[in-house]
A = this chain, B = another copy of it.
Amino acid sequence: MDTTALGVLLGRYSLGPKHLGEPGPDDAALQVMLLAALRAPDHGGLVPFRFAIIRGAQRLAFADLLERAAVELGKAEAAAALDRERALRAPVTLAVLARIDLGHPLAPGHEQWMAVGGAVTHLLTAAHALGYGGKMLSGSKVRSPNVVAAFCAPGETLVGWISLGTPLRAASPGHTKRVPDGLMADWAGPDASG
């Protein structure tokens, strides 16, 4: 792994629970990741997020919760069991809770969501820099009433979960992203449209 700053920024990739093993990040590593999250741009400094750590014995309660939610959402038993398995596998999972104030006078809602995305990005990149792998996961379960009740305080939105652990495999060449055309081009000026 290229451990320079640019190497880490350009080399980060998502690694799901099935490719993660022990150990997960300890308290010291999680604290560094949180500090990195707080360094992402955040208009107005609202810190519109928090993280709930799921580890150790709590993984079982988390797995039960997700399996039940999957069944309630009409998933087949095998698919629900897979959700359970995934929830158990990552050594550490962080639930991502957003706290969006849609009436904020300075930062509109979409800027607050951008701040949440920036924080998650920096957190995952810091995990990568520390030698851990991880991935942000979401899906319809984040809107399942029992799951919401188990994570959210009033006014909070459950965004999803960040699985974290030690990578069981390196990035494959398939992780190299193609750059879509036209992503960065000179402004055509005020009289052109677009």
Q: Which residues of A contact B (CB under 8 A)?
A: 3-14, 30-32, 34-36, 38-41, 43, 45, 47, 49-55, 58, 61-62, 64-65, 94-95, 98, 110-111, 113-118, 120-122, 124-126, 129-130, 135-136, 138, 146, 149-153, 156-157, 159, 177, 179-180, 182-194
Task: Say how many copies of this protein the assembly contains.
Answer: 2
B121:A43 contact, CB within 8 angstroms: no
B34:A186 contact, CB within 8 angstroms: no
B121:A9 contact, CB within 8 angstroms: no
Given the interface contacts A125-B9, A129-B6, A153-B194, does A186 sit within 8 Å of B53 by beta carbon?
yes
Given the interface contacts A5-B8, A194-B152, does A120 sit within 8 Å of B118 by beta carbon?
yes
Give 12 new A-B contacts, CB below 8 A, not counting A6-B32, A10-B39, A52-B187.
A6-B129, A9-B122, A10-B36, A10-B126, A13-B39, A35-B177, A53-B187, A111-B138, A113-B113, A116-B117, A121-B122, A149-B193
B94:A184 contact, CB within 8 angstroms: yes
In whole angstroms, what is the CA distance A150 to B34 when docked? 38
